[in-house]
Structure 1
Amino acid sequence: MQEGQFSRTALGAAGHRAAHQALEGGFFFADPLALPILGADAQAAIDKAKAQPLRRGLRLFIALRSRFAEDSAHAAIARGVRQVVVLGAGFDTFAYRLEAPAALRVFEVDHPATQAEKRRRLEAARVAEPAHVVYVGCDFEREIFVDALAAAGFDRRQPSFVFWLGVTAYLTHEAVYAALAAVAALPGGEEIVFDYAASPETIDDQAARTAHEDLARKVAAAGEPLRAYFDPPALHAQLTALGFSEIEDLRAEEVAARYAPGRAPTRRGAGARMLRAATAPTA
Structure 2
Amino acid sequence: MTTTSVPSPASAPRLGTTAYAAAAARAAHLEVDEPPHLLVDDVAARLLGDAGTGFLGYQRAYPAEPVLATARLWAVARSRVAEDLLAASAARQYVVLGAGLDTSALRVAAPSGRIAFEVDLAPAGAGKRAALADAGLAVPATVRFVAADLRDPEWPAALLDAGLDPTQPAFVACLGVSMYLTADDVRGLALGVASLAPGSELVLDHVLPAAHRDDVGEAYAQGVAAVAAQSGEPWRFEAAPDEIRALLEAVGLAVERTGDLADAVGHLLAGRTDALRPVRIAGFAHARVPEPADVSGRAW
The alignment-based identity, stated in percent, is 32
User: Displacement of 1:220 after TM fit?
Assistant: 0.2
The alignment partner of 1:196 has SS state of strand
Aligned pair partner of 1:83 in 76, 80, 93: 93
Corresponding residue for 2:131? 121
The alignment partner of 1:195 has SS state of strand
Aligned pair partner of 1:275 in 247, 272, 285: 285
Distance 2:240 2:77 in 1: 21
Aligned pair partner of 1:172 in 152, 172, 182: 182
Corresponding residue for 1:213? 222
- Unmatched 5+ stretches in structure 2: 1-12, 293-299
Alignment check: 8 A CA contact 2:15 2:124 kept: yes
After the TM superposition, which residues 78-157 of structure 1 pair with which residues of structure 2 at under 5 Å, given as runs?
79=90, 81-98=91-108, 99-102=110-113, 104-157=114-167
**Residues 169-216 of structure 1: CA distance to partner in whole angstroms, max 9, x if unpaired?**
0001101101101111223321110100121232242x3322210001
User: Relative to structure 1, is the Cα distance of residues 266 and 251 closer, same or farther in structure 2, using a 3 angstrom cutoff?
Assistant: farther
Distance 1:25 1:44 in 2: 22
Does 2:75 align with 1:65? no
Corresponding residue for 2:5? none
Distance 1:125 1:187 in 2: 35
Distance 1:268 1:92 in 2: 22
Alignment root-mean-square deviation, CA: 2.1
Alignment check: 8 A CA contact 1:257 1:263 kept: no
The alignment partner of 1:226 has SS state of coil
The AA in structure 1 aligned to 2:144 is: V
Corresponding residue for 2:6? none
Alignment check: 8 A CA contact 2:178 2:206 kept: yes
- Unmatched 5+ stretches in structure 1: none
Pairs aligned (count)? 274
Corresponding residue for 1:23? 32
Distance 2:278 2:269 in 1: 14
**Residues 67-108 of structure 1: CA distance to partner in whole angstroms, max 9, x if unpaired?**
1111111221xx3x2111011111011111235455x31010
Distance 1:193 1:252 in 2: 12
Aligned pair partner of 2:247 in 223, 238, 246: 238
Alignment check: 8 A CA contact 1:190 1:279 kept: yes
Which aligned runs of 4 or more in structure 1 are off by greater than 4 angstroms? 260-265
Distance 2:241 2:40 in 1: 29
Distance 1:31 1:268 in 2: 21
Corresponding residue for 2:50? 40
Distance 2:87 2:151 in 1: 29
Corresponding residue for 1:225? 234
User: Relative to structure 1, is the Cα distance of residues 263 and 257 closer, same or farther in structure 2, using a 3 angstrom cutoff?
Assistant: farther
Distance 1:169 1:36 in 2: 26
User: Displacement of 1:117 after TM fit?
Assistant: 0.9
Distance 2:124 2:52 in 1: 18
